[in-house]
Structure 1
Amino acid sequence: MRSSRLGKTLATLTAATAMALGGTLMTATGAAAVDGSACKVNIKNRSMAASSFGAQTWSGPGSTYTKKAYLQSFEGFYARCYTTNSHGNRWYYGDPNGRSYRAWVYAGNVFTP
């Protein structure tokens, strides 16, 4: 009977821990790649360029995501759409010039020539 009570206590503790962690994990920012479905506004290939300091591209709209290639100063970027992340920062999603993938770039690191 003692082991039965211990088993129930462990099961309850495990369930409570899982619920607490699950709630935390569901609200945490994921580091997985995010495609254009995260966009809120379509802009259809706006030609942009990296600032004079260059621009890091990312797998999602925020610096918690995985880094991709670095755009050199004034290198082209064709923005397809954009979103505003939870910090109020605008991020563009599109095609880095001459690259075979799409990526996100922070609006403060690109400009429209």
Structure 2
Amino acid sequence: MQVKKRMATLLAATALFAGLGTATGAGTASASDDCSYIWGVTNNSSAVLTLTAGVHLKKAPAAECGNVRWAGSGTELYAWCWTNNSYNNQWIWARIKGTETVGWVYNGNVYRGPGSLNHC
């Protein structure tokens, strides 16, 4: 009888720990999530931005994601829209003035001039 009771306790504990492990892992976010997610963008803003530092425009809204192109401090951009990444940092999808080059730029690296800036 004791063997059956111990076996039942062991099976219940194993099921509990297996379930907790799955639930815990499901809520974690990482930059790789941001880099692989397909971000929907729309040109619904009119803000003119100026880079306050030289930066790479990014393929997705996280510093760890791939680069599109380098743009130097003072470069003007036309904002299309903004979003927050999995770290709750605001990123802006924008086009470099005078080009067709678009990419994500971190909000902390721009001065926002006139015009609207709307969520993607």
TM-score scaled by structure 1?
0.62
Closer/same/farther in 2, CA of residues 87 and 33 from structure 1, 3 Å limit: closer
Give distance in 2, aligned partners of 1:33 and 1:98: 28
- Secondary structure of the corresponding residue to residue 78 of structure 1: strand
Query: Tell me, which stretches of 5 or more residues in structure 2 are unaligned?
Result: 1-21, 114-120
Show the counterpart of 1:108. 108
Show the counterpart of 2:99. 99
Show the counterpart of 2:4. none
Closer/same/farther in 2, CA of residues 101 and 90 from structure 1, 3 Å limit: same
Show the counterpart of 1:46. 47
TM-score scaled by structure 2?
0.59
Closer/same/farther in 2, CA of residues 34 and 111 from structure 1, 3 Å limit: farther
Alpha-carbon offset, residue 82 of structure 1: 0.3
Q: How many residues align?
A: 87
Query: Tell me, which stretches of 5 or more residues in structure 1 are unaligned?
Result: 1-19
Alpha-carbon offset, residue 98 of structure 1: 2.5
Identify the structure with the greater strand proportion: 1
Could you report, residue by residue, the CA deviation over 1:73-93 in whole angstroms, capped at 9, with x for unpaired residues?
A: 110111110001111110000
Closer/same/farther in 2, CA of residues 38 and 44 from structure 1, 3 Å limit: closer
Q: Is contact 1:81–1:93 with CA below 8 Å preserved after alignment?
A: yes
Show the counterpart of 1:16. none
Which structure would you say has the larger Rg? 2
Q: How does 1:15-94 map to 2 (within 5 A)?
A: 29-30=32-33, 31-32=35-36, 34-35=38-39, 37=40, 43-51=44-52, 53-94=53-94
Alpha-carbon offset, residue 70 of structure 1: 1.5
Give distance in 1, aligned partners of 2:72 and 2:50: 9
RMSD: 2.8
Give distance in 2, aligned partners of 1:102 and 1:64: 17
Following TM superposition, where does structure 1 have runs of at least 4 consecutive aligned residues deviating by more than 6 angstroms? none
